[in-house]
Amino acid sequence: MLRKIFETLLSIILPKEESVLRIENLSLSFIENQLPKANETNNPKFKALFQYKDKIVRQAIWEIKYNKNKRILENFTLALYEFILEEISDEILFNNFHSPILIPIPTSKQSLKERGYNQCDLVVKELIKIDEGKNFFIDFKSLKKIKETGHQSKTKNKTQRLKNLEGCFLADPEKIKGKNIILIDDVITTGATMKEATRALKKAGAKKVLGFALGH
């Protein structure tokens, strides 16, 4: 109740853009069935739900990433949750992909300092809230970003992205060895970040690593 009162007061003092309000009020059915689905990435182990170039998708992800928009986070993460369950069903059945651990792509200390939070952490927390312990475990500490890399969005060339990210992640073998992992990111562009995080997890002994994102 207090949160609702605070949000109401905040909306009066700092009214949101009309486009943001429209996205907040999108139904789950519209999100799942009307927004354009992402094309396949260049790695079959990495999948995204929506096309990032779509205006609504792009603004929704920006609202999560830069404004910590709770309503949009809840709605879009629910769609992502159902997408993940559908995509891993065959992995569970045929490849023994049981009890996977959800791990958010870590952000740099500088980004965390500037923004105050990691948007991937928000998505993972919401996924766990939806799941209620039925399918996933969660881990925020086993994968760390140990090297500042700057903003990958400003590095257009894939080769440069891979070189920029090389050695930037470190995984804890004691917590990772023999485990199935699901990496969560907000956007997959070239897949370089997912690839480097996967490399660190596999080096630490992870059994299998899959990656999912809201947009591509």
pTM of full prediction above 0.75: yes
Provide the domain limits for residue 88: 2-215
Provide the 10 A C-beta neighbour count for residue 58: 15
Residue with tokens 């209620």: 132
Q: What is the CATH number of the domain that holds 39?
A: 3.40.50
Separation of alpha carbons 170 and 152, rounded Å: 18
Residue 82 amino acid letter:
E
What is the per-residue pLDDT for 164? 79
Mean pLDDT for all residues in the chain: 90
Element (H, E) at 107: none
No. of helices (H) and no. of strands (E), the chain: 10, 7
Separation of alpha carbons 140 and 105, rounded Å: 9
What is the per-residue pLDDT for 189? 93
Q: Are 34 and 212 in contact (CB under 8 A)?
A: no
Count of structural domains, the chain: 1
In this model, does residue 101 exceed pLDDT 70? Answer: yes
In this model, does residue 122 exceed pLDDT 80? Answer: yes
What is the per-residue pLDDT for 7? 57
What is the per-residue pLDDT for 162? 72
What is the per-residue pLDDT for 11? 57
In this model, does residue 86 exceed pLDDT 90? Answer: yes
158 to each of 111, 150, 182, 193, how far by Cα in Å?
22, 15, 23, 10
172: Cβ contacts below 8 Å, ≥ 6 apart: 141, 142, 143, 204
Separation of alpha carbons 162 and 12, rounded Å: 45
Q: pLDDT for 26-53, tens place per residue?
A: 999 999 999 999 999 999 999 999 999 9
Retrieve residue 89's tokens. Answer: 């069903």
Burial level of 139, CB count in 10 A (0-12/13-18/19+)?
middle
Tell me the average pLDDT across 123-131.
97
Beta-strand ranges (E) seen in 8-72 are: 46-50
129: Cβ contacts below 8 Å, ≥ 6 apart: none
